[in-house]
């Protein structure tokens, strides 16, 4: 009986440690691509779907990892906060730290809309020096390079996908490299005019299985198509960030919180 209880106790401890590791140990994924519109390398670090999660005091664990990567710009692709467990301060603290590392650009996710508190959050982000892109573009100079950086709202802020498609089409630029920040990977077909699209929202499929991938994702259901990594269609590349925090489903399995590093080199892909 004592032996059985000991085995059960050890098993519970192992499961708890495994759970903690899966949900709190940061991972970094690096993607490299090329474009004839670029002559000098550009490095973008992307974060997504924090859902007000905390990684150490003042987010120092996460900030330290981002700083090591030495990005030219930082992109945050939505769900900075969680509508159910709303904690604005953890999110603002992270953004205040990130802007000290590199220019930081942000677009909304569905949870910002659902919270009903976005106007106040947006004001604080702007005060912190964050570039909040809401269906707009900006030409960003990085060394000798100029890229067309586009940011769109989550469709929950809009009338629907048709409006989003019209916005995306109107903001593309033939001359410059088009980098789009958008929360939703399942709208892949709307992004054809872009060179690179950075998205989140899918949480990596929440549970990832070898040779199968993610199991379930918001707005894609079971066995989702776009959960993590790189997807290509002709000259357009979309990268889906697995995200940092959780929302409805509190547990990640084989799906650690992710920082995405994208290196864009000159030349044909």
User: Would you write out the chain's pLDDT as a tens digit for each of its 269 residues?
Assistant: 777 877 777 888 888 898 999 999 999 999 999 999 999 999 999 999 999 999 999 999 999 999 999 999 999 999 999 999 998 999 999 999 999 999 999 999 999 999 999 999 999 999 999 999 999 999 999 998 999 999 999 999 999 889 999 999 999 888 899 999 999 999 999 999 999 999 999 999 999 999 899 999 999 999 999 999 999 999 999 999 999 999 988 999 999 999 999 999 987 65
Tokens representing residue 106 in the block = 């942000």
* Torsion on CA atoms 101, 106, 112, 117, rounded to nearest 10: 70
Of 72, 63, 133, 29, the C-alpha closest to 265 is: 72
Domains and CATH numbers, the chain: 27-266 (3.60.21.10)
Closest CA to 50 of 220, 200, 230: 200
* 174 Ramachandran zone, left/alpha/beta (phi>0; psi -120 to 50): alpha
Residue 80 CA to residue 161 CA, distance in Å, equals: 21
| Predicted local confidence at residue 268, as pLDDT | 62
Token pair 């664990």 is at which residue? Answer: 61
Residue 97 has phi, psi (to 5 degrees) of -75, -40
233 by DSSP, 3-state: which? Answer: strand
pLDDT of residue 10: 84
Burial per residue of 203-221, b for 16 or more beta-carbon CB atoms within 10 angstroms, e otherwise: bbbbbbeeeebbbbbbebe
Is 43 in a helix, a strand, or coil?
A: strand
User: At a CB cut-off of 8 Å and minimum separation 6, what does 144 contact?
Assistant: 39, 40
Q: According to DSSP H, which parts of the chain are helical?
A: 2-24, 60-69, 88-98, 110-115, 118-127, 161-171
d(CA 29, CA 40): 21
Q: Report CA torsion sign: 195, 199, 204, 205.
A: negative
Cα 207 to chain centroid distance, Å, stands at: 17
113: Cβ–Cβ under 8 A, 6 or more apart, which residues? 154, 156, 157
Task: Judge contact between 262 and 31, C-beta under 8 A.
Answer: yes
The confidence score (pLDDT) of residue 174 equals 85
Asked if 32 and 230 touch (Cβ cutoff 8 Å), the reply is no
Look at residue 15 in the predicted model and tell me its pLDDT. 87
DSSP single-letter state for residue 57: G
Q: 219 near 184, Cβ under 8 Å? A: yes
């Amino acid at each position: 009986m004592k032996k059985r209880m000991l085995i059960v106790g050890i098993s519970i401890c192992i499961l708890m440690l495994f759970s903690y590791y899966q949900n709190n140990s940061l991972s970094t994924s690096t993607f490299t691509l090329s474009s004839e519109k670029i002559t000098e390398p550009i490095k973008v670090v992307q974060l997504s779907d924090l859902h007000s999660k905390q990684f150490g005091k003042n987010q120092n664990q996460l900030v330290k990892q981002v700083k090591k990567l030495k990005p030219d710009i930082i992109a945050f692709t939505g769900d900075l906060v969680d509508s159910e467990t709303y904690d604005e301060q953890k999110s603002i603290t992270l953004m205040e730290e990130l802007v000290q590392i590199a220019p930081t650009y942000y677009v909304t996710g569905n949870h910002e809309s659902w919270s009903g508190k976005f106007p106040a959050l947006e004001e604080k982000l702007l005060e912190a020096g964050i570039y909040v892109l809401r269906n707009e573009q900006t030409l960003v100079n990085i060394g000798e390079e100029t890229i067309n950086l586009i940011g769109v709202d989550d469709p929950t802020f809009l009338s629907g996908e048709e409006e989003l498609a019209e916005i995306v089409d109107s903001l593309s630029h033939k001359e410059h490299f088009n980098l789009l920040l958008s929360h939703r990977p399942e709208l892949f077909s709307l992004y054809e005019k872009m060179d690179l699209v950075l998205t989140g929202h899918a949480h990596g499929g929440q549970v990832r299985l070898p040779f199968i991938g993610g199991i379930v994702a918001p707005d894609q259901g079971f066995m989702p198509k776009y959960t993590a990594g790189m997807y290509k269609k002709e000259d357009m590349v979309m990268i889906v960030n697995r995200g940092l925090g959780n929302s409805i489903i509190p547990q990640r399995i084989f799906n650690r919180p992710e920082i995405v590093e994208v290196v864009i080199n000159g030349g044909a892909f």
